[in-house]
Amino acid sequence: MDAEAGPHAPSPAPSEGEVVEVTWCSMAPGGDLGEIVARLQEFHAVVGLGERWGAAIAQSAAFEQAQNQAHKKPESSKMVTWEDIFDGLGPAYVNTLSYQASWHMLGTLGSPTRVKALHYGSPLKSIVENSGCYLIGVTMVLRIVRDWNTQRRIGAVKADITEWLTSELKQGRLHAPAGLLVAMVTNSDAEALKRLSECDINLKLPPNVPDSHGSEDPE
């Protein structure tokens, strides 16, 4: 890893997308079209949340890298935060720091999610492709849905997500503040997560994606 990238910076995005295979939601033959559309809309919402998380992870890593570089310079004696940038309260070099972070972010953001294949059957199977921090964010959300214990805290979606993300942080698999990601979960996101968590979901993730259940993914 680049020494200047910081300990929590994700690797640069690959030039081509990584493939993620999701098997989910059993549907009986001849099922209602509206039900199929509803399940796909929920899947779309979950992927959208994952991409927003990916952007936040890329932003966090990019700011950390720019901050570390700036901190090595004599004129950069004060470590600033995102609040300094957003509130306009930081010193003059904050604008330069923000500019540098934007460029770092472009290097890790990756390619957004695209559908490679969608198989209707029992269960449904979606094969999607993305890369970089988009890949990290989307697979994190899909792993949350897969690992969800609905009997633990029914109705407390954000509490469960916070607990899951805290565990990821302790294991070194989270590269952004857990509170920031939880705050991005809307009510409609929460409903989609709960609905999909009722399905028996299996994931086949790229080998470079960290996963506590990676060895259990079916072939």
Residue range 170-204, pLDDT digits in tens: 988 887 889 999 999 999 999 999 888 888 889 99
Distance in Å from the first CA to the final CA of the chain: 30
pTM of this prediction exceeds 0.95 = no
pLDDT over 50 at 114, yes or no:
yes
The DSSP output letter for 211 is -
d(CA 75, CA 97): 12
Q: What is the pLDDT of residues 135-182, one digit of tens each?
A: 999 999 999 999 886 555 555 888 889 999 999 889 888 878 899 999
d(CA 80, CA 83): 8
**Please, are residues 214 and 143 in contact by the beta-carbon 8 Å criterion?**
no
d(CA 142, CA 137): 9
